[in-house]
Amino acid sequence: MLKKHFAKSFDDFSILKRLIAENFRVYAWQYAIALGLMFLVAGATGFSAWMMRDLINDVFIARNETMMVAICVSVIVIYIAKGAASYGQEVILARIGNKIIAATQNRIYQALLKQDMAFFQDNASSDLITRITHNARAASAALNLIATSLGRDLFTVISLLVVMLTQDSVLTAIALIGVPLLVGVITRLLSRMRKLFGREVETVSEILATMQETLQGIRVVRSFGLEPMMTKRMAAAVDRVRKLSNRLASVQAVTLPLLDTLGGVAVASVVFYGGWRVIHQGATPGEFFAFVTALLMLTEPARRLARLHLQLAGASVGVKMLYEIIDREPVVPQLTQKAFQLGKGTITLSHVTFGYRPEEPVLRDVTLTAEGGHLTALVGASGSGKSSLLNLCLRFWLPQAGELRIDDQPLSGIDLTSLHEAISFVSQDVFLFDGTIAENILMGRPTARQEDIEAAARDAAAHDFIMSLPDGYQTSVGEFGGRLSGGQRQRLAIARAFLKNAPILLLDEPTSALDAESDALIQEALARLMRGRTVLMIAHRLASVIHADKIYVLDAGVVVEQGTHPELLTQAGKYARLYDLQFHA
């Protein structure tokens, strides 16, 4: 799973090099303007410290009134320019960041849509949602950190260091004597920071997973009285995040007191040496105060630069998780060179073996044919491999052995988009999007007109119940169709398949959630829809497959019987026993 991958160690910030290469080039001119404005801010800060020399020497000692006015006007101009530049760079970086977040979220989403079913089976939806929200912001935050640190803080530090060096190089060396110690401490903290950031992201995903399960399974939670258990689970996850956040805060906070301590020692040393020079060597007070001012103004940008490495360590964890999805190649290829050329629509499985884990096959050496233009039924107990067979026909998975073909074309060599355009699929696990009834039916054919939607609903025996709702076809179905009954959701899914009107139909117990009256209507509608089409249907209720052209009986992933309904009854085998249980019990 992806969690295991991102927890592994990685080269120090190497993943950020790719992020910079991909984004700085796209937004080069915006970053150039922002960096120019930051350079102006840094220059204004340095010039403010530089003026302290003239302020002390010419105004307070020499009492030069002209110089006093000039310095005051200069200060006003400098700070107006600095404020405007600060505003401009902040707005530009915010807009760049928002663009990067939007582009990255779209990129992750598109990458998710290309993944195979094994990917979604192995990764929790809460983890993926965390990646598309948290990690996209991590990418933007990392780039903005780099830009502001280089443009604002580094330039400011450099400009102030220039002021300090021009005043006194020895004092500058004294002020910077603790920097190697600070670098050593930060380096030791980095490995701990990476681990803590990674664990924090995992735990946040656990909180999201618990919340998601609670909201989606609220009926089960209420009916089984699971509120105390879910509350305990949420509290445990929240407490883990709290403890991790406290540890992160403790690790990050180490740099600040260390920097303050080193800064205090540096200032004291500078005051001692500078005062000694003024007293005993005749150095001017203006140079000394300019130096001290620059040193004090250097403290805040230096603090931010000292924490930059640690902040980037956290951001790089999110960026790495982002690229793990973007770079992952799906096991089942999405596009191949050959488009699907539909003939009669005959589906053939030849010696197919498949398992979601190769060591645990759910289909074993299956060979069968669903003739084009005919109804073929799959019958068997739950867990016999029927739904897995339909998944293979949709190429959600690839078999470990054997081959699937449609009209003598191997599925592994067919363009996936054109394959799915030729197939309508109705699952027993109905999924509806959070929208209106019309919008959900329209998913079958987005270009359809309203009259086509209503015709499909009539064929699915759904029109009458839709019109009985207050807003008719514009009624909102709610999240996962929660405002509709199971039978209503099933009929909308069938209407969606009717609207698509594909030449191949894969039906996974399409009438399982219908009452007897609706079932009779659907059976009539399906009979009309199936005429002249290839239909592969899973059925637990044998009444729906009595008139099938061919019935295959599966048991533990193996085809044990095949034939028509009368032929299978005469064999007095598994099918006959299932029939007796349903009709003569």
The stretches of 460-515 forming alpha helices (DSSP H) are 463-467, 486-500
Q: Is the pLDDT of residue 8 over 50?
A: no
150's tokens = 């280089």
For residue 582, give the 3-state DSSP assignment. Answer: helix
pLDDT recorded at residue 353: 93
Contacts of range 522-531, beta carbons closer than 8 Å, 24 or more positions apart: 522/460, 522/461, 522/491, 522/494, 525/459, 525/460, 525/461, 525/494, 525/498, 528/459, 529/459, 529/498, 529/505, 530/375, 530/505
pLDDT recorded at residue 95: 85
CB-CB contact of 305 with 2 (8 Å): no
pLDDT recorded at residue 3: 44
Largest CA distance in the chain: 121
Q: Which homologous superfamily does the CATH classification assign to the domain defined by 370-583?
A: P-loop containing nucleotide triphosphate hydrolases (3.40.50.300)
CA distance 368 to 385: 13
pLDDT recorded at residue 6: 37
- CATH 1.20.1560.10 intervals, the chain: 2-327
Q: How far apart are the first and last CA of the chain?
A: 47
CA distance 355 to 388: 9
Amino acid at 385: G
Q: What confidence tier does 1 reach under pLDDT thresholds 50, 70, 90?
A: very low
| Mean pLDDT, residues 121-149 taken together | 75
The tens digit of pLDDT for each residue in 546-555 reads 888 899 999 8
The tens digit of pLDDT for each residue in 103-114 reads 888 888 888 877
386's tokens = 């029927």
pTM of whole model > 0.75? no
CATH code of domain 2-327: 1.20.1560.10
- The kind and range of the H/E element at 376 are strand 375-380
CA distance 513 to 534: 23
The tens digit of pLDDT for each residue in 542-584 reads 877 888 889 999 988 899 989 988 988 888 888 888 888 877 6
- Which of residues 179 and 17 earns the better pLDDT score? 17
CA distance 290 to 171: 12
Give the lowest-confidence range in 186-200, 258-272, 484-498.
186-200
- Which of residues 515 and 328 earns the better pLDDT score? 328
The tens digit of pLDDT for each residue in 50-100 reads 777 766 777 667 777 787 788 788 878 888 888 888 888 888 888 888 888
The tens digit of pLDDT for each residue in 145-177 reads 777 777 777 887 888 788 777 777 777 777 677
- CATH 3.40.50.300 intervals, the chain: 370-583
